[in-house]
Amino acid sequence: MASKAIGFVASNPLGRFDSESITCRAKVMVSIVRCSVPLSSNGPSIGLAERPWKTSDARLVLEDGSIWKAKSFGASGTQVGEVVFNTALTGYQEILTDPSYAGQFVLMTTPHIGNTGVNLDDEESKQCFLAGLVIRSLSISTSNWRCAEPLGDYLAKRNIMGIYDVDTRAITRRLREDGSLIGVLSTEESKTDEELLDLSRSWEIVGVDLISGVSCKSPYEWIDKTILDWDFNSNRRAGETYRVVAYDFGIKQNILRRLASYGCKITVVPSTWPASETLKLKPDGVLFSNGPGDPSAVPYAVETVKNILGRVPVFGICMGHQLLGQALGGKTYKMKFGHHGGNHPVRNLRTGHVEISSQNHNYAVDPATLPEGVELTHVNLNDGSCAGLAYPAKKIMSLQYHPEASPGPHDSDYAFRDFIKLMNHEKVKA
């Protein structure tokens, strides 16, 4: 993996943006930017007004020794992280605010990013926890009826680094061939290539507890449902019929909105919340959320899951699914480059239906290591990996991917209804 010599500078096939020859066209485009920035935006648009005259001012140094010159936007400085590529065509704001990307640079394979700016509705959490954003082309204008500010301003305020005008296809091919790579992004000229390379090679993401940095600090109640115009499935008149405790390992808000829309009254609790306290609340069900990093690095969370299993119906999503797998005695492993995107085909083995799903994970459960009685319910059709589990005797269901989408297709939304059915089954028995 680290065989390539340092000093390789990636070519920029569309380097024409540096050329003087487009100066006139660019001036016209910059005036469009100024007009389209909403009145609510304070101050000048960071990074946008300088382009396309801007020359490369950032380097992405990968642990394999390759160096990629790029132009910066958002925050400046030096940041280390794991580079992953995301194939979603839309939804960059939901991706930026998905806490499961903590410690990672998200490289979007879709080349044109930023054209709709950012809005007030599409946040999946209050913060951006990712290490940075890597894109091919940063939209020079922003146009959307919901737009509250341009992407560059938004990232700068949240101290998140972004780069553009970098060959994202070439980096993606490298990640697909060699597997995930650690990288360092820097706008600091004083740092040598060797220093950045050393930093990338001395940094680790495997075995690190990233959940504790993103989980809430104390419990809170959640009431917001999916906005009526966008809801299509749930019976919104259901009221708050089911009491659910949701463990926040880095929870995406759309999981909470979907549960609320399906009739759940939800208490969100921190990752370290004791199982005994959860059970005292007498929940109808417990949700184990998505979250960043290595599921093997959080044994305390596996212990909590173990202490809840079999007592009440549970639903695990992504990290929650991986923790359930470990709590059942199974093993998780790191995938070559993971699944990140909104176009992953999954077969539901119970119905035979194929769902196009939203995914974001680097780890997976090895189903061969699970005890008898655990049923493989979903399979990722790209690589045959485990995408869902059930253990009816212990009232468990889990998905490796994202039924809440956000961003992505809604094919798997029925999973929330299945969780309601699981809880209802127990309620009726009681």
Ligand X SMILES: NC(=O)CC[C@H](N)C(=O)O
Active-site positions read 318, 402, 404
CB of 205 to ligand X, least distance (A): 9
Helix (H) or strand (E) holding 317: strand 314-317
From residue 173 to residue 212, what is the string marking binding to ligand X with x (rule CB under 6 A)? ----------------------------------------
388 sits near ligand X (criterion: CB under 6 A): no
Which CB, 287 or 319, lies closer to ligand X?
A: 319
* Pairing outcome for strands 386-391 and 181-186: unpaired
CB of 325 to ligand X, least distance (A): 11
Among 137, 290, 296, 304, binds ligand X (CB under 6 A): 290
Rounded Cα–Cα distance for residues 266 and 429 (Å):
22
Which CB, 135 or 319, lies closer to ligand X?
A: 319
100 sits near ligand X (criterion: CB under 6 A): yes
CB of 360 to ligand X, least distance (A): 4
Among 52, 81, 283, 292, binds ligand X (CB under 6 A): 292
CB of 422 to ligand X, least distance (A): 21
Closest alpha carbon to 404 in 290, 305, 295: 290
Q: Angle CA(137)–CA(81)–CA(292) in degrees, nearest 5?
A: 105
Rounded Cα–Cα distance for residues 216 and 286 (Å):
17
Strands (E), 75-224: 78-86, 104-108, 112-113, 132-134, 137-138, 161-164, 181-186, 220-222
318 sits near ligand X (criterion: CB under 6 A): yes
Segment interacting with ligand X (CB under 6 A) among 192-200, 233-241, 290-298, 407-415 = 290-298
Among 72, 360, 406, 412, binds ligand X (CB under 6 A): 360
Segment interacting with ligand X (CB under 6 A) among 13-21, 86-94, 229-237, 288-296 = 288-296
Which CB, 58 or 286, lies closer to ligand X?
A: 286
Residue 26: Cβ within 10 Å count: 17
Which CB, 152 or 293, lies closer to ligand X?
A: 293
DSSP state of 327: H
Do 140 and 30 form a contact (C-beta atoms < 8 A)? Answer: yes
| Binding-residue total with ligand X (CB under 6 A) | 11
Two structure tokens written together for 343: 């176009």
> 314 forms bridges with which residues in the sheet?
286, 396
Rounded Cα–Cα distance for residues 404 and 100 (Å):
14
Binding site for ligand X (CB under 6 A): 100, 290-293, 318-319, 360-363
